[in-house]
Amino acid sequence: MIGRSEEYEKMFRLEGQLWWYRSLHERVEKALQNRFGQRRDITILDAGCGTGGLLDFLRRQGYTNLRGLDGSTDAVTFCRERNLSVTFVNLNELTSFEPDGQYDAIICNDVFCYFTANELPPLVSALARRLRTNGILVTNNNAFKLFRGEHDVAVGIIRRFVLADFKPVCADNGLHIHLATYWSFVLSPLILLVRQWQRLQLALGWHKPEEAQSDVYLPHPLVNETLYRLVRAEQTLIRRTPFGSSLFMVMSR
Ligand SMILES: C[S@@+](CC[C@H](N)C(=O)[O-])C[C@H]1O[C@@H](n2cnc3c(N)ncnc32)[C@H](O)[C@@H]1O
């Protein structure tokens, strides 16, 4: 992903509108409210914050103590355009960055997929150490290999997860998993069909990997709004769902 400027430009332009980002941002805010109620002064770190869509959303919800880190100069530049407090940091070197930093909430969405099995435990450990007592780590990640498709190729995703991948690393770092839910359950048959079709096209050489497109594009407004409402209804009605292309988790120390 790092170095693919066009992906950051699309993210920056669309993350406020696209159904998927809107649903995820609301899910994160709900996790913050469940833990901290109406407090808006909690210290929040978005690790691997991309172009700052989530930080911008949280700022509009009244959160005042927001900080971001990212290892892409494109991402940091876009965040600064939004006047967000974001620092260029390689998360592989988080241990040497701000060793005394302490946060009530650390959010790390769709970042772990860029870390190998050896790199992930030190990252989770470094994030856990930066949590205050009773702080939470909120993380969304790509789930189930079955859902691998053109998006993964386009943005260089190296792995997909299931809950069992996180259990040992959480236990090793004193992290208790409060919530783990795959989403979107309701859209999963459709997403699965599309992704499997994409894989077939790649396997048969009908699509070239270098021409793969990410899912970051705006569909027709009616489609975008329908998908957003379906996912929001799912989120409101069912706390945990068993299957979907993403795994959303909330952990505490
Ligand atoms: C798929 S984007 C997700 C961005 C944001 N968290 C969101 O939910 O929109 C992954 C982000 O992780 C960042 N990233 C990947 N590897 C990183 C590393 N080693 N250090 C810092 N940031 C990294 C990328 O620059 C990118 O902004």
Residue with CA at minimum distance from ligand 1 atom 25: 72
Pocket test for ligand 1, best of 2, 18, 139 (most atoms within 8 A of CB): 2
The Å distance, Cα 216 to ligand 1 centre, comes to 14
Q: State the number of CA atoms in the 13 A half-sphere of 129 facing the CB.
A: 14
* DSSP states of 113-174: GGS-TTTHHHHHHHHHHTEEEEEEEEEEEEB-GGG--HHHHHHT----B-HHHHHHHHHHTT
Average of pLDDT values for 58-66?
Answer: 98
CB-CB neighbours of 90 under 10 Å = 13
Task: Out of 87-91, 121-125, 152-156, 230-234, pick the least confident.
Answer: 152-156
Q: Write the pLDDT tens digit of every residue in 6-19.
A: 999 999 999 999 99
Q: Write the pLDDT tens digit of every residue in 109-128.
A: 999 999 999 999 999 999 99
Residue 148 scores a pLDDT above 90 = yes
The Å distance, Cα 1 to ligand 1 centre, comes to 8
The DSSP call for residue 220 is: -
Alpha carbon distance 252, 109 (integer Å) = 16
Pocket test for ligand 1, best of 27, 55, 70 (most atoms within 8 A of CB): 70
Per-domain boundaries in the chain: 5-252
Q: Which pLDDT score is estimated for 210?
A: 83
Q: Partners of 131 in the beta sheet?
A: 103
Residue 99 scores a pLDDT above 80 = no
Average of pLDDT values for 36-42?
Answer: 97
More reliable by pLDDT, 209 or 248: 248
If we measure between CA atoms, which residue out of 202, 163, 186 comes closest to residue 237? Answer: 186
User: Which protein residues are within 6 Å of ligand 1, measured from CB?
Assistant: 1-2, 48-50, 53-54, 70-72, 75, 90-92, 109-111, 114
What whole-number percentage of the chain has pLDDT above 70?
100
Residue with CA at minimum distance from ligand 1 atom 21: 71
The Å distance, Cα 124 to ligand 1 centre, comes to 14
Structural fold of domain 5-252: Rossmann fold (3.40.50)
Residue 95 scores a pLDDT above 90 = no
The Å distance, Cα 237 to ligand 1 centre, comes to 30
Pocket test for ligand 1, best of 26, 114, 160, 216 (most atoms within 8 A of CB): 114
The Å distance, Cα 173 to ligand 1 centre, comes to 22
